[in-house]
Chain A
Amino acid sequence: MQSNSMPDTAEHAADATRILLVEDEFLIRMLVADHLRASGFAVVEAFNGDEAIAILKSGARFDLVFTDVRMPGSTDGLALLGFIRAAHPDLPVLMTSGHLEPHLAYAGGAVRFLPKPCDLDIVVDELRAALGPAT
């Protein structure tokens, strides 16, 4: 790594499990992000699908995307899922929604679906299950 690039902090360490959290409800996003950080994950917060695509296109590395479905902007959760399946086929996506039928998420390629509202500890358990035993 070049000396003028971002340093080897916890958020950027090679062994940190990095989650891209996509949620337009500010307070929900903040609560989930805080809980995930407290659980040892490195979290990048995107407030809609468009932001998520922007950070994914930047080359930033993620181990999993946890996304809502209904969001403002030109990219909802299902469209984001489609982008990820095409551009990052190995990147697991966990979806959450209070409206979407789970089979639609699975049909699009999501590895797991959580109905809203969901307990934060269950979110962590589901993320770890989706990421595999190493996490």
Chain B
Amino acid sequence: MSVDQSILVIDGDIISRHAIADYLRHCGYAVVEAATTDEAMTALAEAALGIDVILCDIAAIGERSGFELAQWVRDNRPELEVRLAGSLDGAARTAADLCETGPHLRRPYEPTAVVDYVRQLRAARGRA
């Protein structure tokens, strides 16, 4: 997959969403962040965004669940690739799979680092 594509990241947890989106941006993708499936539907209605791939947390909130959004996409926008992630580790692995050769900027930048970073932030939030 080339990196001149747009990925829609749907996740209701800002820490996870930003970490995954940040990772993908540094792989060279244009990334659109949606906090809910409702926001995702708004993004999908905007042809100018040129969304190619959707990375969706199955626990995403909104009028549609993550599964329902994926089903809607398969039924209505079959040209789009949908990847569902059930965990942060799954999302990080999927992001790494999309990146293929890894981010273009500084190294190392491994998917496990994304997961570790999110865990650190969540732990810090728990202590705050």
List A residues 1-38 near B (Cβ within 8 Å).
Answer: 3-12, 26-27, 30, 33
Beta-carbon contact of B106 and A45 below 8 Å: no
Q: Do the beta carbons of B14 and A10 come within 8 Å of each other?
A: no
- A54-B15 contact, Cβ under 8 Å, with A26-B43, A47-B39: yes
Instruction: Mark the stretch among A56-64, A89-97, A105-113, A127-135 that contacts chain B.
Output: A56-64
In the assembled complex, the Cα of A7 lies from the Cα of B22 at a distance in Å of 11
Q: B-side interface residues toward A, CB under 8 Å? A: 14-15, 18-19, 22, 25-26, 32-36, 39, 42-43, 46, 103, 105-109, 112-114, 116-117, 120-122, 124-125, 128
The residue in chain B whose Cβ has the minimal distance to the Cβ of A6 is B117
By secondary structure, the B interface counts as helix
* Chain A: interface size category: 20 to 34
Smallest Cβ distance from A84 to chain B, in angstroms? Answer: 13
Interface residues of A (CB under 8 A from B): 3-12, 26-27, 30, 33, 44-48, 51-52, 54-55, 57-60
